[in-house]
Amino acid sequence: MSRDVASIEGLSVAFGRPPTQVLALRSVSLTLRAGQITGIVGESGSGKSTLALALIGLLPQAARVTEGAIRIGNQNIAGLPEARLRAIRGARVSMVFQDPMTALSPSRTIGGHLLDAQHRDRASGRSALRTRAIEVLRKVGVPDPAAQLDRYPHQLSGGMRQRVAIAMALLGRPELLIADEITTALDVTLEAQILHLLRELRSEIDGAILFISHNLGAIAEICDQVAVFYAGELVEEGPVRDIFHSPLHPYTRALRDCDPARIEGAARHLPSIPGETPVVRAPPTGCIFAPRCSLATELCRTKVPVWAAIAEGRGVRCHLAVSKT
């Protein structure tokens, strides 16, 4: 098994204070390994982005880590002061955001962005930084990179801007690259290109990639390991093949069955999971998915299921799945 780049151990994050608090993450454990792309799937509000922000030490001020550890390498970054976190951001962990139209400063040129991304390197001269910027643009597939440096973000297409954002994230040579829904704002053709790029980068960067998406197709295409989130909990984790071919958790199964790409022929109705993702303000008394689960039993409603590790990197949080195996 390859080196652990980052890991989250029993992490719980809450926004605000009781009684209006929101328990955005509850006892989540996850390990990210070098050379792997780990996918995170879940509906909006399932805690995917909170997890990403926790990993890069950018949780908003209203958020508190109530328990658990966030480890980058061997260092626990939960509760570190801002100055120490800043040393990690962009150097050991980098992030690419969802919307490439707004993730670049409108009044800076592409070159300005890429030079800024190297702000830690005070030793190299401007021309060396520029050369490196051109190099990294070429690596992410931007045509005619030298000419792009003087252009402004609004002169580039969405796909090109997203490549620039990825280039910026790569310049710090991070061990962990977080891609938070980076293809959601792009059309399918561009999405395919960006996914292809990420797959190429996996072997190139000496580290892990965390790929957050609600597009199961994208997850299936590029991820090695998949973690399924629901309402702030990790409900199932496993190698990509297992998650898609033999899901254990009813939620994973329902999610898979709702993927439009799986529906054959012309369907009149898109399948959906009845009910809504709950906003969790107090620790649940049963399985968090029970109200929407078609298989829920009395046990599910009254007892909180514990995480059951089935194999290395494979586990589920469900009474039924555990009793079955």
Sequential DSSP letters for 254-304: HHHHH-GGG--S--SS----SS-PPP--S--SS-TTGGG-TT--HHHHHSP
* Cβ 141 vs Cβ 189: under 8 Å: no
Nearer to other proteins, 47 or 90 (CB): 90
Angle made by CA atoms 148, 90, 133, in degrees to the nearest 5 = 25
- Residue 169 in the binding site for other proteins (CB under 8 A): yes
Quote the CA–CA distance of 50 and 26 in Å, as a whole number: 11
User: Which of 151, 199, 214, 253: binder of other proteins (CB under 8 A)?
Assistant: 151
The reply on whether position 117 binds other proteins by CB under 8 A is yes
Q: How far is the CB of 170 from other proteins (least distance, A)?
A: 11
Which of 89/281 has CB closer to other proteins? Answer: 89
Rounded CA gap, 4 and 150, in Å?
A: 39
Nearer to other proteins, 185 or 243 (CB): 185
Q: Nearest distance from residue 66's CB to other proteins, in Å? A: 23
6 binds other proteins (CB under 8 A): no
* Region 56-85 residues binding other proteins, contact defined as CB under 8 A: 56, 58
Residue in 3, 67, 75, 86 binding other proteins, rule: CB under 8 A? 86
Answer yes or no whether residue 88 interacts with other proteins by CB under 8 A: yes
Shortest distance (Å) from residue 137 CB to other proteins: 16
DSSP secondary structure string for all residues of 21-70: -EEEEEEEEEEEETT-EEEEE--TTSSHHHHHHHHTT---TTEEEEEEEE
Taking CB atoms within 8 Å and a gap of at least 24, the contacts of 128-134 are 132/171, 133/167, 133/171
Q: Which is nearer to other proteins, 179 or 227 (CB)?
A: 179
For binding to other proteins (CB under 8 A), which residues are involved? Answer: 56, 58, 86-91, 94-95, 97-99, 102-108, 112, 116-117, 119-120, 151-152, 154-155, 165, 168-169, 172
